[in-house]
Amino acid sequence: MHRDRGPVEGRTVKRLALAATAVAVLVTGCATQASDNSPTGRPSSGDRSRPSATPQPDRTTKAPGAAAGTLLVADFGADTVSFVDPDEGVVDSVRAGHAPYGLVVGDDGRAWVATAEGVAVIDTKTREREALVPYETDNLGPVTDGEYRGGGMGIALAPDGEHVYVGVNVPGGNGTLETVDTRTLKVTDTADVGRRPFDVDVSRDGREVYATDHDSFDVTVLDTDSGDTRRIEVAPYGTEGGLGSWLKPHYAAVRPSDGKLLFPFEGEKLVVLDPDTGRSTIERMTADTHQHGVTITPDGTLLAVGTGPIDPAEDEGPSLTVRTKDGKEKVIPLDGPHEDVAVSADGRTAYVTGGFTRDGYWNGITVVDLGSGDTRRLAAGERPLGIAVL
């Protein structure tokens, strides 16, 4: 059961947990960097080579097509994306590129996948990789695994489908936001953003792009006409924890009704940010758990993934928060950590990936009946992170 806790007490508990973590190990993210050396990880593949953006069909099986409602997941623990039947599990996998993170699917059936090597272009109808678009950003280091690897993280598609925007992590420094022309498959622009762009979103009219900069406690706003950028702090608990803080923005959702950005924090606070003015308000949340992935439905229902407690003695476990536009919440417990979430076309079912950027991930998806709150586990891919419903 959720325990009501005031913002001061909650903040104090989490900062105490942070202080203990910081003493034990040098950190640069949500916690330690152990996930880079997880048992399922692979050693570095050496110096980065710039892949060509020429067509490169590459697939593991030959079953063409994808039925409506099929799930596409990025296998962060492999080099593939997997096609997943919501009832049966994986039906096909296609090589995308090393350590794929986020993905997005356009109306034309092409999926755009942020990997360590470049942006993979997957034809979801033929189940083939059409191209791998190399990044223009320098200093990405060797192609490797883990949450802190160089390369693409968040990714989004313009409403008109003409451009893809990918947040590129530069290990140890500020990242970039690269713009890819979806017709020419070329990078047409690169803009500076903050550290580790976990998520990328686009405004309803396509005039602005938002990169959620995890390690710099802010969001970068890109004007797609002028190319100008500005950064807005998103730090309801403050920034004094620095790189070792857990209390950073992870993922955002653009509210359909007014274009404001929604950032859940710790199952305690929802930051509602107006990107035009830079001003924000805070609404109370009830899950009391560390939160990562979010999505929002056309009617304004927000879904937020709770990965688990910072302090198990004080915080609640993994969950999925379903928050209506009037602020009413249903908190559905989940078994084990999860990372991202997508919703079926009819709005009745949520699919929550078990990959998780930290330790404790698992190879599957939790299928959630949003009406009853019932859940079931579905084996799917290798450490699945990004997810979309075809």
Structural domain contains residue 266: yes
**How many independent structural domains does the chain possess?**
1
Contact of 150 with 169, CB cutoff 8 Å:
yes
Structural domain contains residue 111: yes
Low-confidence ranges of the chain (pLDDT < 50): 1-9, 11-28, 31-62
Give the phi and the psi of residue 267 in degrees, each rounded to 5.
60, 20
The per-residue pLDDT for 28 is 40
The per-residue pLDDT for 65 is 64
Structural domain contains residue 342: yes
Chain center to CA of 65 = 26
Domain range for 314 = 7-43+58-389
312 Cβ contact list (under 8 Å, min separation 6): none
CA–CA distances in Å: residue 122 to residues 53, 197, 252: 13, 22, 25
pLDDT tens digits, one per residue of 21-79: 443 333 445 643 333 333 333 323 333 343 444 344 444 444 556 688 999 999 999 99
The per-residue pLDDT for 64 is 56
Here the tokens at position 287 are 């899950």
Structural domain contains residue 48: no
> In 3D, which of 355, 381, 378, 380 has the Cα closest to residue 368?
378
The per-residue pLDDT for 53 is 45
Query: Tell me, what CATH number does 231's domain have?
Result: 2.130.10.10
> In 3D, which of 70, 164, 75 has the Cα closest to residue 115?
75
Chain center to CA of 334 = 18
Structural domain contains residue 240: yes
Structural domain contains residue 377: yes
Structural domain contains residue 301: yes
Contact of 127 with 66, CB cutoff 8 Å:
yes
The per-residue pLDDT for 360 is 85
Report how far residue 256's alpha carbon sits from residue 45's, in angstroms, rounded to the nearest whole number: 42
129 bridge partner residues: 122
Number of CB atoms found within 10 A of residue 33's CB: 16
Structural domain contains residue 185: yes
For the chain, how big is the Rg over CA atoms in Å? 19
163 bridge partner residues: 181
